[in-house]
Amino acid sequence: MLAAASAPALAQGAKPPACTPGRVTPAQTEGPFYSARAPLKANFRGDAKGEPLVLEGVVLGPDCRPVAGAWLDFWHADAQGAYDNSGYRLRGHQFADADGRYRLETIVPALYPGRARHIHVKLRAPKGDRVLTTQVYFPDDPGNARDGLYRPELVARRTPGALAFDFVLGG
């Protein structure tokens, strides 16, 4: 049953998760625009107009095994580069499925001064008390090279119809 559920996800062109045991996803600053208590929402498309984007992948533990039910809290700028700091547009949390998979349907955030294009996220294992705060970057974004926060380990990979990024949580 588990294998049957996993097969279609890999058939979409995604590579199996790249994971080296113990090599956790680097943390990044949350920046000035995090809002706690964002609603349960995995589809931001109704929040703002923009080019559709899917970000999907797997949440893994330090042993490279999927973290079922992991909490992911995403937020990012709109197509004009603005964050919603009074409401929850382009903000929402979701939980990874039984295979550790998550999927965010949203729009492409704009560039804003001084930054590469990026999506913020916080993650936590269901029984964990440690939160990983990080950012995901876009492949081939010319802003990457100019952004002092950019790290190549945090670039999503392009798959047919989506960007993919697998997070590896620490112990």
Task: Give the contacts of 90 (CB within 8 A, at least 6 positions apart).
Answer: 44, 47, 48, 75, 76, 77, 78, 83, 84, 106, 107, 109
> Do residues 70 and 122 lie in contact, with contact meaning Cβ atoms separated by under 8 Å?
no
Helix residue ranges, H only, the chain: 2-11
**Minimal distance in Å, beta carbon 112 to Fe ion?**
8
Of the ranges 6-14, 15-23, 27-35, 86-94, which one interacts with Fe ion (CB under 5 A)? 27-35
Q: How far is CA 43 from CA 92, 105, 106, 141, 160, in A?
A: 8, 5, 6, 24, 19
- Which lies closer to Fe ion via its Cβ, residue 60 or residue 104? 104
Of the ranges 7-15, 25-33, 39-47, 151-159, which one interacts with Fe ion (CB under 5 A)? 25-33
**Minimal distance in Å, beta carbon 90 to Fe ion?**
11
- Which lies closer to Fe ion via its Cβ, residue 33 or residue 95? 33
- Contact map string, positions 31 to 50, toward Fe ion, x by CB under 5 A: x-------------------
Percent helix, strand and coil across the chain, each to the nearest 5: 10, 30, 60
Instruction: Give the number of residues in contact with Fe ion, rule: CB under 5 A.
Output: 1
Parallel/antiparallel/unpaired status of strands 71-75 and 132-137: unpaired
| C-alpha span between 171 and 155 (Å, rounded) | 22
**Minimal distance in Å, beta carbon 118 to Fe ion?**
6
- Which lies closer to Fe ion via its Cβ, residue 31 or residue 69? 31
Closest CA to 33 of 72, 94, 78: 78
- Contact map string, positions 43 to 82, toward Fe ion, x by CB under 5 A: ----------------------------------------
- Which lies closer to Fe ion via its Cβ, residue 52 or residue 114? 114
Contacts to Fe ion by CB under 5 A: 31
